[in-house]
Chains A and B, each alone.
Chain A
Amino acid sequence: MKCTDALIIENVKLNEDVLRMKLKTDIAPLVRCGQFVQVQVPGFFLRRPISVCCTEGDTLTLVYKVVGQGTDAMAQMKPQQTVSLIGPLGTGFPLLDRDVTLIGGGVGVPPLVETAKQYRSRGFHVTCVLGFNRSADMILVNEMKELGSEVETATMDGSYGVRGTVIDAIREKGIAVDMVLACGPLPMLKAVCECASDGYVSLESRMACGFGACMGCVVKTPEGESRRVCTEGPVFRIGEVVL
C-alpha cells in the first residue's frame, strides 16, 4: 500500500446518485479484486473508503454512491484534478480454482466487476445475481454481461427481472450457492450467509484510517476475537465473523 496522487480522467453519473470515477494512478496495477482505496476529498478531514470496481493498466475505476456531504463533494470533482489515494487496502476476494456465484446489492456490485473479470479470464463460469431497489438504480449489469458472466437481476419493486431480493432470484432461478462471493447491504449479506453453503462476504464499516491503525472498524469472530474490516477484511469467509 502507498499514499499517492492520482489524476482524475472521468467522473460521470451512472444514474441519479451513483457515479463512476476513473483515475490514472500507479497503484492501479497493484489492486486485487475486492480491495479498496481511501480517497481524500478536499474540505473533509477523513478520507472516503471506496471499493475498487475494476482496473486496466494504470487506470483505476471507482463506482460510488453519493450518501453524504463527502461523497457529494467527490461527485463535484472534475477531470484533470488530482486526488490523493491510499491503497490498495484490505484483503479482497480469493481467486479460487472453481466456478462461482457473485451476489451484489446496490453499490455493493462494483467490486464484483473486477472479481468477475479475474474468474472469467481464468476460464471459470461466473453467475451474477444483482439486486437493486428499482430498475432506475441498476448499475454495471451490462459490464458483467460483457465479461461473459451469466447475469440474473432482481428489483424490489419488480420493475426489472425477478421481483424481490437477490435471495428470491436465487430461489426462482435455481442458482448454485455452493460458493458465493457477495457484497451489499448488511441485511442482504446476512440472508446470503443463511442460504449459501460456503463463500465470502465483503463488509462495510465506518473507519478513520483504513490501514489498520485506528481500530475503528472492528468486527468480532464467533470466539470473540477482533478483526479489522480494513485489514483482515473487508472480505471474510462466511462464518469467520459475526455479522
Chain B
Amino acid sequence: MIDLSVNLPGLHLKNPIIPASGCAGYGRELAEFYDLSRLGGIAIKSATPAERFGNPTPRIAETPMGMLNAIGLQNHGVDYIIENELPFLAQYDTEVIANVAGAAEEDYVEVIRKMNNSPVVKAYELNISCPNVKHGGIGLGTDAQLAAHVTRMAKEASTKPVYVKLTPNVTDIVSIAKAVEEAGADGLVLINTLLGMRIDLRTGRPVLANGTGGLSGPAIKPVAVRMVYQCARAVHIPVIGVGGISTPEDVIEFLLAGADAVEVGAANFADPMVCVKIIDRLPETMKKYGYASLQEIKEKRAI
C-alpha cells in the first residue's frame, strides 16, 4: 500500500486529490455518486458576504479540450453557507477548504471572520483571481501590491491557514507569488482560469452572455504546469496545483512540477467519478513510473 497522505498547513489530506472550487458545489451533487470521505479534501464554491445571482446565461461554452465559464460567483452568501452547507459537509472525513471571494478587501475579511467559528472549515483559499466579476477579483490578483495587501488583511482576520489562489492572467506570476508569500500566505493555489472568448458564427456575438469567461479543462494544463514549476521554485510555502487535471498521470506531472497536492476542476463536470478514479489509479500509475511514494516524486523534481 502506497501512503498517499499529504500534510499541509491546516490540511491533513489522506490523498492529494481535492475537487476545485466551483466544480463541486458544496459537495451535495458529488455525494450522489460517491462517498466524499474518499477525497483528500474539497474546495467549496466561493463565498461572498451577500448573496450573488451571478451572470446572465449562457454561462457555459465548450472549447477544444476544455470549456469557458462565466458563472459570476453565484452563491447564497456566507451566512447561508455556514448555516445550510457546512453542516452537510461535517458528516464526511475530508478536509474542507473554504474559497473566499469579494469585490473589495473588506469582503474577504467579513467572510473569514464569520467562517472562523466553523470547525468544518480547515483552511481558506482566497479567490483573488476570478476573472468574471467586474471591478472585483481581477484587480486584486493582477497587482503584486494589491494581492499582498488583501493577503495581509485576510491573515490578520483569520484563525486558520490562508492559501491564495492566483490568476494566470498576469505578465509575471512569480512576482505575485513572492509578494503573497511575503505577506504571510500559508500556501499557494494555482492556477485559476485563463480569460477567453468564443464567438457564435451565426450571430457574430460572443457565445457567453458575459462576453468573456474563464477557460478550464485539459487545454490549460501545460500553462498550469509551467506556472506551478516557476512559482514552486520561487517560494518556500506549499503549492496546490490546479488546471486541466483529469488523470493520475496529470497528478504526477503536477507533483513533479512542484505541487504538494492538486485540485481537480472541470473534469468533474465531464465525469463526476473522476476524483475517485484518480485516487484509485494513482498508486498503480506511480508504480508504473517507478515511484514508491509521493516523496520519491518530489525528490525527482526537475531542477
Contact = CB atoms under 8 A, between A and B. Distances in A.
Give the secondary structure class of B's interface: loop
Given A215-B54, A215-B71, A216-B71, A208 B272 contact: no
A208 B266 contact: yes
Nearest to B26: A213
Interface residues of A, number: 29
A213 B57 contact: no
Interface string B7-36: 000000000000000111100111011000
B60 A214 contact: yes
A98 interface: no
A228 B218 CA distance: 26
Interface size class of B (residues with CB under 8 A): 35 or more
Interface in A189-219: 205-219
A70 B71 contact: no
A30 interface: no
Contacts of A209: 29, 268-269, 272
A151 interface: no
A155 B273 CA distance: 44
B217 interface: yes
B77 to A, nearest CB: 13
Nearest to B65: A45
Kindly list the 9 A-B residue pairs having the minimum CB-CB distance in the complex, ordered from nearest: A216-B60, A209-B269, A208-B269, A213-B29, A212-B29, A206-B58, A216-B59, A213-B25, A206-B60
Interface of B: 22-25, 28-30, 32-33, 45, 53-54, 57-67, 69, 71, 74, 217-218, 266, 268-273
Interface of A: 1-3, 40, 44-47, 70, 84, 86, 205-220, 224, 226
30 contacts: A3-B271, A3-B272, A45-B67, A45-B217, A45-B218, A45-B266, A45-B270, A46-B62, A70-B62, A206-B58, A206-B61, A208-B266, A211-B29, A211-B272, A212-B29, A213-B23, A213-B25, A213-B30, A213-B269, A213-B272, A215-B59, A215-B74, A216-B60, A216-B71, A217-B57, A217-B59, A218-B53, A219-B57, A224-B53, A226-B54
